[in-house]
Structure 1
Protein backbone atom coordinates (compact mmCIF):
# COMPACT_ATOMS: atom_id res chain seq x y z
CA UNK A 1 0.00 0.00 0.00
CA UNK A 2 2.95 2.32 0.58
CA UNK A 3 4.39 1.75 -2.92
CA UNK A 4 1.52 1.30 -5.41
CA UNK A 5 3.66 2.14 -8.46
CA UNK A 6 6.25 -0.46 -7.46
CA UNK A 7 3.49 -3.02 -6.92
CA UNK A 8 2.07 -2.39 -10.40
CA UNK A 9 5.56 -2.58 -11.91
CA UNK A 10 6.28 -5.92 -10.25
CA UNK A 11 2.87 -7.30 -11.28
CA UNK A 12 3.48 -6.18 -14.87
CA UNK A 13 6.92 -7.82 -14.97
CA UNK A 14 5.44 -11.07 -13.62
CA UNK A 15 2.67 -10.97 -16.25
CA UNK A 16 5.25 -10.39 -19.01
CA UNK A 17 7.41 -13.27 -17.72
CA UNK A 18 4.45 -15.67 -17.62
CA UNK A 19 3.38 -14.61 -21.12
CA UNK A 20 6.90 -14.95 -22.61
CA UNK A 21 7.60 -18.27 -20.87
CA UNK A 22 4.27 -19.73 -21.97
CA UNK A 23 4.93 -18.65 -25.56
CA UNK A 24 8.42 -20.19 -25.49
CA UNK A 25 7.15 -23.52 -24.13
CA UNK A 26 4.30 -23.65 -26.67
CA UNK A 27 6.71 -22.94 -29.54
CA UNK A 28 9.19 -25.55 -28.29
CA UNK A 29 6.44 -28.16 -28.08
CA UNK A 30 5.12 -27.27 -31.55
CA UNK A 31 8.56 -27.30 -33.18
CA UNK A 32 10.23 -30.18 -31.34
CA UNK A 33 9.71 -32.80 -34.06
CA UNK A 34 11.08 -30.42 -36.71
CA UNK A 35 14.07 -29.61 -34.50
CA UNK A 36 14.68 -33.34 -34.07
CA UNK A 37 14.49 -33.91 -37.82
CA UNK A 38 16.77 -31.00 -38.77
CA UNK A 39 19.48 -31.65 -36.21
CA UNK A 40 19.70 -35.39 -36.76
CA UNK A 41 20.67 -34.82 -40.38
CA UNK A 42 24.11 -36.25 -41.15
CA UNK A 43 24.77 -33.29 -43.45
CA UNK A 44 24.91 -30.91 -40.49
CA UNK A 45 27.65 -32.78 -38.68
CA UNK A 46 30.47 -30.82 -40.33
CA UNK A 47 33.74 -29.55 -38.95
CA UNK A 48 34.48 -25.91 -38.25
CA UNK A 49 37.43 -25.02 -40.49
CA UNK A 50 39.13 -23.00 -37.75
CA UNK A 51 38.69 -25.19 -34.68
CA UNK A 52 38.17 -28.59 -36.37
CA UNK A 53 35.28 -29.21 -33.98
CA UNK A 54 31.84 -30.39 -34.97
CA UNK A 55 29.60 -27.44 -35.74
CA UNK A 56 26.66 -29.32 -34.25
CA UNK A 57 26.94 -32.33 -31.94
CA UNK A 58 24.74 -34.46 -34.19
CA UNK A 59 23.80 -37.96 -33.16
CA UNK A 60 21.38 -40.51 -34.52
CA UNK A 61 19.79 -40.78 -31.10
CA UNK A 62 16.84 -38.67 -30.00
CA UNK A 63 17.53 -35.21 -28.65
CA UNK A 64 16.45 -36.33 -25.21
CA UNK A 65 15.18 -34.02 -22.53
CA UNK A 66 16.13 -30.39 -22.14
CA UNK A 67 18.79 -30.47 -19.42
CA UNK A 68 19.69 -26.80 -19.25
CA UNK A 69 17.93 -23.51 -19.95
CA UNK A 70 19.74 -20.17 -19.83
CA UNK A 71 17.41 -17.22 -20.02
CA UNK A 72 17.78 -13.44 -20.13
CA UNK A 73 20.64 -13.64 -22.67
CA UNK A 74 19.57 -10.39 -24.31
CA UNK A 75 17.88 -7.17 -23.40
CA UNK A 76 14.16 -7.74 -22.87
CA UNK A 77 11.93 -6.49 -25.66
CA UNK A 78 8.35 -6.92 -26.82
CA UNK A 79 6.82 -7.31 -23.35
CA UNK A 80 9.80 -8.93 -21.65
CA UNK A 81 10.89 -11.45 -24.27
CA UNK A 82 14.59 -12.31 -24.47
CA UNK A 83 16.99 -14.83 -25.98
CA UNK A 84 17.05 -18.31 -24.39
CA UNK A 85 19.71 -21.02 -24.80
CA UNK A 86 18.72 -24.70 -24.53
CA UNK A 87 20.89 -27.78 -24.07
CA UNK A 88 19.47 -31.25 -24.78
CA UNK A 89 20.65 -34.58 -23.34
CA UNK A 90 22.20 -35.39 -26.73
CA UNK A 91 24.52 -32.40 -26.34
CA UNK A 92 22.73 -30.27 -28.91
CA UNK A 93 22.64 -26.59 -27.99
CA UNK A 94 20.06 -24.27 -29.52
CA UNK A 95 19.41 -20.56 -29.19
CA UNK A 96 15.78 -19.41 -29.18
CA UNK A 97 15.21 -15.88 -30.42
CA UNK A 98 11.64 -14.69 -29.81
CA UNK A 99 11.32 -12.83 -33.09
CA UNK A 100 10.69 -13.48 -36.76
CA UNK A 101 13.90 -14.90 -38.23
CA UNK A 102 12.81 -14.47 -41.84
CA UNK A 103 15.63 -12.03 -42.53
CA UNK A 104 18.26 -14.43 -41.17
CA UNK A 105 16.79 -17.28 -43.24
CA UNK A 106 16.93 -15.13 -46.39
CA UNK A 107 20.52 -14.12 -45.58
CA UNK A 108 21.57 -17.77 -45.16
CA UNK A 109 19.87 -18.62 -48.47
CA UNK A 110 21.84 -15.81 -50.10
CA UNK A 111 25.10 -17.17 -48.62
CA UNK A 112 24.18 -20.62 -49.92
CA UNK A 113 23.67 -19.13 -53.39
CA UNK A 114 27.06 -17.37 -53.12
CA UNK A 115 28.74 -20.66 -52.16
CA UNK A 116 27.23 -22.32 -55.24
CA UNK A 117 28.22 -19.58 -57.69
CA UNK A 118 31.52 -18.22 -56.36
CA UNK A 119 34.73 -19.64 -54.94
CA UNK A 120 35.24 -19.25 -51.22
CA UNK A 121 33.51 -20.48 -48.13
CA UNK A 122 30.67 -18.21 -47.01
CA UNK A 123 29.89 -19.48 -43.52
CA UNK A 124 26.27 -19.75 -42.49
CA UNK A 125 24.32 -21.06 -39.56
CA UNK A 126 21.22 -23.17 -39.35
CA UNK A 127 18.20 -21.00 -38.67
CA UNK A 128 14.59 -21.99 -38.16
CA UNK A 129 12.05 -19.45 -39.27
CA UNK A 130 9.54 -20.08 -36.50
Structure 2
Protein backbone atom coordinates (compact mmCIF):
# COMPACT_ATOMS: atom_id res chain seq x y z
CA UNK A 1 0.00 0.00 0.00
CA UNK A 2 1.35 3.43 -0.93
CA UNK A 3 2.13 5.83 1.89
CA UNK A 4 -0.16 8.82 2.33
CA UNK A 5 1.80 12.08 2.08
CA UNK A 6 -1.10 14.56 2.05
CA UNK A 7 0.91 16.89 4.29
CA UNK A 8 3.19 17.58 1.30
CA UNK A 9 0.27 19.18 -0.52
CA UNK A 10 -1.58 18.78 -3.78
CA UNK A 11 -1.54 20.79 -6.97
CA UNK A 12 -2.31 20.70 -10.65
CA UNK A 13 -0.36 18.37 -12.93
CA UNK A 14 2.04 20.13 -15.29
CA UNK A 15 1.79 20.82 -18.14
CA UNK A 16 -1.93 21.44 -18.36
CA UNK A 17 -3.59 19.73 -21.32
CA UNK A 18 -7.13 18.80 -22.30
CA UNK A 19 -6.63 15.40 -20.67
CA UNK A 20 -5.03 16.64 -17.45
CA UNK A 21 -6.96 19.81 -16.80
CA UNK A 22 -8.77 18.17 -13.88
CA UNK A 23 -5.84 16.03 -12.74
CA UNK A 24 -4.04 16.67 -9.49
CA UNK A 25 -0.60 15.72 -8.28
CA UNK A 26 -0.15 14.86 -4.61
CA UNK A 27 2.66 14.17 -2.17
CA UNK A 28 6.16 14.03 -3.59
CA UNK A 29 4.75 14.10 -7.12
CA UNK A 30 3.33 17.53 -6.23
CA UNK A 31 6.86 18.73 -5.48
CA UNK A 32 8.21 17.42 -8.79
CA UNK A 33 5.34 19.14 -10.62
CA UNK A 34 6.08 22.36 -8.73
CA UNK A 35 9.75 22.20 -9.78
CA UNK A 36 8.71 21.86 -13.43
CA UNK A 37 6.35 24.83 -13.10
CA UNK A 38 9.00 27.01 -11.43
CA UNK A 39 11.66 26.29 -14.07
CA UNK A 40 9.19 26.50 -16.95
CA UNK A 41 7.91 29.94 -15.94
CA UNK A 42 9.80 33.05 -17.06
CA UNK A 43 10.14 35.78 -14.46
CA UNK A 44 7.58 38.45 -15.31
CA UNK A 45 5.25 35.96 -17.01
CA UNK A 46 2.76 35.97 -14.13
CA UNK A 47 1.17 39.38 -13.83
CA UNK A 48 0.32 39.18 -10.12
CA UNK A 49 3.65 37.55 -9.22
CA UNK A 50 6.28 39.07 -11.53
CA UNK A 51 9.22 37.70 -9.49
CA UNK A 52 7.95 34.09 -9.71
CA UNK A 53 9.81 31.77 -12.05
CA UNK A 54 13.32 31.11 -13.25
CA UNK A 55 15.85 33.26 -15.10
CA UNK A 56 17.02 30.28 -17.19
CA UNK A 57 15.01 31.64 -20.13
CA UNK A 58 17.55 34.48 -20.40
CA UNK A 59 20.12 32.05 -21.84
CA UNK A 60 17.98 30.65 -24.65
CA UNK A 61 20.15 32.30 -27.33
CA UNK A 62 23.54 31.68 -25.67
CA UNK A 63 26.20 29.36 -27.06
CA UNK A 64 26.51 25.91 -25.52
CA UNK A 65 29.63 26.14 -23.39
CA UNK A 66 30.73 25.76 -19.76
CA UNK A 67 29.76 29.32 -18.90
CA UNK A 68 26.22 28.75 -20.16
CA UNK A 69 25.96 25.47 -18.22
CA UNK A 70 27.11 27.14 -14.99
CA UNK A 71 24.68 30.01 -15.54
CA UNK A 72 21.81 27.56 -16.08
CA UNK A 73 22.74 25.70 -12.89
CA UNK A 74 22.82 28.93 -10.89
CA UNK A 75 19.48 30.18 -12.24
CA UNK A 76 17.71 26.89 -11.51
CA UNK A 77 19.20 26.54 -8.02
CA UNK A 78 18.30 30.14 -7.10
CA UNK A 79 14.72 29.73 -8.34
CA UNK A 80 14.18 26.49 -6.45
CA UNK A 81 15.69 27.88 -3.25
CA UNK A 82 13.34 30.85 -3.45
CA UNK A 83 10.10 29.21 -4.60
CA UNK A 84 10.06 25.59 -3.38
CA UNK A 85 10.35 25.55 0.43
CA UNK A 86 9.56 21.82 0.71
CA UNK A 87 12.99 20.78 -0.61
CA UNK A 88 16.57 21.17 0.56
CA UNK A 89 20.09 20.00 -0.28
CA UNK A 90 19.56 21.09 -3.89
CA UNK A 91 22.22 20.08 -6.40
CA UNK A 92 21.91 21.16 -10.03
CA UNK A 93 24.08 19.96 -12.92
CA UNK A 94 23.67 21.07 -16.54
CA UNK A 95 25.18 18.91 -19.28
CA UNK A 96 24.91 18.83 -23.07
CA UNK A 97 22.52 16.24 -24.43
CA UNK A 98 24.51 13.65 -26.42
CA UNK A 99 21.68 13.04 -28.90
CA UNK A 100 20.20 16.47 -29.48
CA UNK A 101 22.42 19.45 -30.23
CA UNK A 102 20.02 22.14 -29.04
CA UNK A 103 19.21 20.53 -25.68
CA UNK A 104 20.82 20.89 -22.27
CA UNK A 105 19.87 18.30 -19.65
CA UNK A 106 19.50 19.87 -16.23
CA UNK A 107 19.76 17.22 -13.52
CA UNK A 108 18.26 18.26 -10.19
CA UNK A 109 18.93 16.26 -7.02
CA UNK A 110 17.06 17.32 -3.90
CA UNK A 111 15.80 16.12 -0.53
CA UNK A 112 12.14 16.35 0.48
CA UNK A 113 12.49 18.04 3.88
CA UNK A 114 9.44 16.53 5.62
CA UNK A 115 10.23 12.92 4.68
CA UNK A 116 14.02 13.15 4.24
CA UNK A 117 13.55 11.39 0.89
CA UNK A 118 16.14 11.97 -1.83
CA UNK A 119 14.69 12.58 -5.28
CA UNK A 120 15.95 13.66 -8.67
CA UNK A 121 14.60 14.73 -12.02
CA UNK A 122 16.00 15.87 -15.34
CA UNK A 123 14.65 19.00 -16.99
CA UNK A 124 15.33 19.27 -20.74
CA UNK A 125 16.10 22.87 -21.72
CA UNK A 126 16.41 23.92 -25.35
CA UNK A 127 18.72 26.68 -26.55
CA UNK A 128 19.31 28.08 -30.02
CA UNK A 129 22.94 29.17 -29.66
Normalised by the shorter chain, which TM-score bucket? under 0.3
Greater helix content: 1
Q: TM-score scaled to structure 2, two decimals?
A: 0.24
The structure richer in strand per residue is 2
